[in-house]
Amino acid sequence: MTIDSIDRRRLLQAAMLSALPLGLSDCGGKSAGKGAALQVGGLPVTCNLTLPVACVARDKANLAAGTRAHGFAYEYVKFSGWPEIKESLMTGRIQAAYMLAPLVMDLADKKIPVKIVSLGHRSGAVIMVRTDSNYQHFAQLKGKRIAIPSRFAVDFLFLRKMLAREGMTPDDVQVIEMPPPDMPAALYANAVDAYCTGEPFGAAAQKAGYARPLSMTRDEWRNYICCVLTVREELIHDDPALVQDLVDHVLGAGIWLDQQPANREKAVQIAAGRGFFNQDPKILQFVMENPTDRVTYGDLRMIRAEFEDLMQLSMQAGTIKHPIAYEAYVDEQFARKAKAATIAI
């Protein structure tokens, strides 16, 4: 199988990244430059939605208390891709980020001092095809061009699971590595026949009317995990209370997001702002509603067997070369002690 790298930036990317009016609440703008806030890296994807909610919830709690409780505050730092987050976490420019789970496994195996401390979401990946295509079953993609975000992305493992289910191998399709924001435009231009990625980049094309989901992890892989909250080990050693507070707010954000539609509407308005995703809120809302469990956040339990299954799939894909001990890349202490924060926004 050959994985080609292509870089196409077309008109739909601009539409997906359209700016919102100023004035939406976000901690990205308020915390910048203060130095005391913990910078947490993330991508503008709905798999990372618990992060903006956690940031704003902590800011609101600090405001209500009239002080920055225990010195805790979080600054969302937006990155354009996984390589940039990886480099910043490796060099210590940031000490916490949402990362791809297999990528964290690989970094830990290479003695980069990082640990997974929480999940960030459940489900959220889709395989999209053109609305006018005749593809009704996954097996019909044999010989076709399918875009993925990265070899380390769990989206790639999702694609491999679907291939195996149909008795196909990766050699039966042409896999193209491509930044997710480029995928809708590439499908529109017939540069690819399908793409597999996280939201909102499937919803963007679906809402525009020229694409439809062929497969969703919500239907095919219910215990799917991809983005995980990862911190550097020196932060765990130097300020475990801060890490615990962040985990508590991420878990609280997840429960809050799945409690009622009104909470998701608030989250969309927060995340769409310029201090966070800087995206069209209508597209984010489309992800939240079509269907409502397209991405879920309430069950963020750290389950060893799920991570080990992910590792086995990564080894089969060749992105991880040998088994890596669970304790090498996961620190469960914060999940065990977690008390989901109350989200009052």
d(CA 59, CA 53): 10
Q: What is the pLDDT of residue 68?
A: 60
> Mean per-residue pLDDT for 215-243?
95
Closest CA to 224 of 165, 289, 156, 154: 154
pLDDT tens readout for residues 49-60: 999 999 999 999
Q: What is the pLDDT of residue 65?
A: 85
Q: What is the pLDDT of residue 70?
A: 61
Residue 5: pLDDT above 60?
no
Residue 26: pLDDT above 50?
no
d(CA 162, CA 172): 12
pLDDT tens readout for residues 147-168: 999 888 999 999 999 999 999 9
Q: What is the pLDDT of residue 79?
A: 94
pLDDT interval class at 254 (50, 70, 90): very high
Is the domain spanning 14-122+225-337 CATH 3.40.190.10? The answer is: yes
Q: What is the pLDDT of residue 222?
A: 84
Q: What is the 3-state secondary structure (H, E, C) of the chain?
A: CCCEECCCCCHHHHHHCCCCCCCCCCHHHHHCCCCCCEEEEECCCHHHCHHHHHHHHHHHHHHHHCCCHHHCCEEEEECCCHHHHHHHHHHCCCCEEEEEHHHHHHHHHCCCCEEEEEECCEECEEEEEECCCCCCCHHHHCCCEEEECCCCCHHHHHHHHHHHHCCCCHHHCEEEECCHHHHHHHHHCCCCCEEEEECCHHHHHHHHCCEEEEEEHHHHCCCCCCEEEEEEHHHHHHCHHHHHHHHHHHHHHHHHHHHCHHHHHHHHHHHCCCCCCCCCHHHHHHHHHCCCCCEECCCCCCCHHHHHHHHHHHHHHCCCCCCCCHHHHECCHHHHHCCCCCCCC
Residue 322: pLDDT above 60?
yes
Report CA-CA distances (Å) from 339 to 53, 252, 299: 16, 8, 14
Residue 214: pLDDT above 60?
yes
> Mean per-residue pLDDT for 292-319?
95
Residue 33: pLDDT above 60?
no
Q: What is the pLDDT of residue 66?
A: 82
Residue 34: pLDDT above 50?
no
What mean pLDDT, rounded, does the chain reach? Answer: 89
Residue 14: pLDDT above 70?
no
Is the full-model pTM beyond 0.75? yes
Task: For domain 4-11+123-220, give the CATH superfamily.
Answer: Periplasmic binding protein-like II (3.40.190.10)
Residue 62: pLDDT above 70?
yes
Domain regions of the chain by residue span: 4-11+123-220, 14-122+225-337
pLDDT tens readout for residues 174-189: 999 998 999 999 999 9
pLDDT tens readout for residues 72-86: 999 999 998 888 999
Fold match between domain 4-11+123-220 and domain 14-122+225-337:
yes
